[in-house]
Amino acid sequence: MGPSAIRYAGLAPALERIGHRVRDTGNVSVSVMESRAEQNPQLRYIAPILETAAALADRVADSCALGHLPLVIGGDHSLALGSIRGATRRRNLGVIWIDAHGDFNTHETSSSGNIHGMPLAALCGLGDARLVKLGNPARMVNPRNVVVIGARDLDDGERALMQHASVNVIAMEQIDRIGMHAAMQRALEYAMQGTDGIYLSLDLDALDPLDAPGVGTPVPGGITYREAHLACEMIAEAGKLVGMDLVEVNPILDERNRTGILAVELAASALGKRVWKE
């Protein structure tokens, strides 16, 4: 339902208005959760998630090979395992992960077993081998080129993993202290150092629930509407964006599709929309 909400909010027309050609390749097939048996409570629904992620990785890799910029909409953040694996198939990328959560758990640290809390760790080579080795080839992301922005809800185990792996975290208290402009300057420097480009993975729960109510795991005290746009605008200005995720839009929890509309607005900012260009 998340992709439908974002499409309904006018994603394609919004991007066409700023000069992009848009080709919607449709949905990747996703199993209905209630129709699948859950065999491992520490890695919930891993089989269908792997199926979906592998199919998505191929689709994103094909898009990149054609010189296109893949924009992946969802849906929970486990999809980033497929999207970023596909984008890194031929390139070494830095990752800017805008999220209230770290998504750096493994099956050994997670208290829920939800794989949407594990994709970033797997992309960096940590966790269950089936998640880590997904892709052809399964190119790992260098944790030193990963920046998590807006974090304000980290589990103890994932915090320790992130520190050990040298992931760059710009948490909300740091944004409060230095401002989003300085935070994004730092993030871009980390993500672009020695890489071929940037992949942006944007979880709408990074924003304050007052601005983005339609998410599954809201956390108070998040990034403001304007801070989120500034972050996306600075990524566009850097000229290094090669792919993007928009995730965790849940229309059942939303108010008149406010979060779907916000997702469209942020995609447009990340892809070049400006009120005024000098």
Q: Is residue 254 part of a domain?
A: yes
Residues of the chain with pLDDT under 50: none
Q: Which residues participate in catalysis according to the annotation?
A: 77, 99, 101, 103, 116, 203, 205, 248
CA 5 → CA 33, 224, 266, distances in Å? 19, 21, 14
In a domain, 202, yes or no: yes
- pLDDT value of residue 15: 98
pLDDT confidence of residue 275: 85
> Tens digit of pLDDT for each residue in 117-126?
999 999 999 9
- Which pLDDT belongs to residue 135? 83
Q: Tell me what pLDDT residue 257 has.
A: 98
pLDDT of 137: 81
Domain assignment present for 48:
yes
pTM of the model: 0.97
Q: What is the DSSP string of 135-194?
A: SSS-PPPPGGGEEEES--B--HHHHHHHHHHT-EEE-HHHHHHHHHHHHHHHHHHHHHTT
Give me the domain span that covers residue 52. 2-23+40-270
Domain annotation covers residue 134: yes
Could you tell me the two tokens for 115? 């794989």
Looking at residue 63, what is its pLDDT? 97
Here the CATH number for the domain that contains residue 152 is: 3.40.800.10
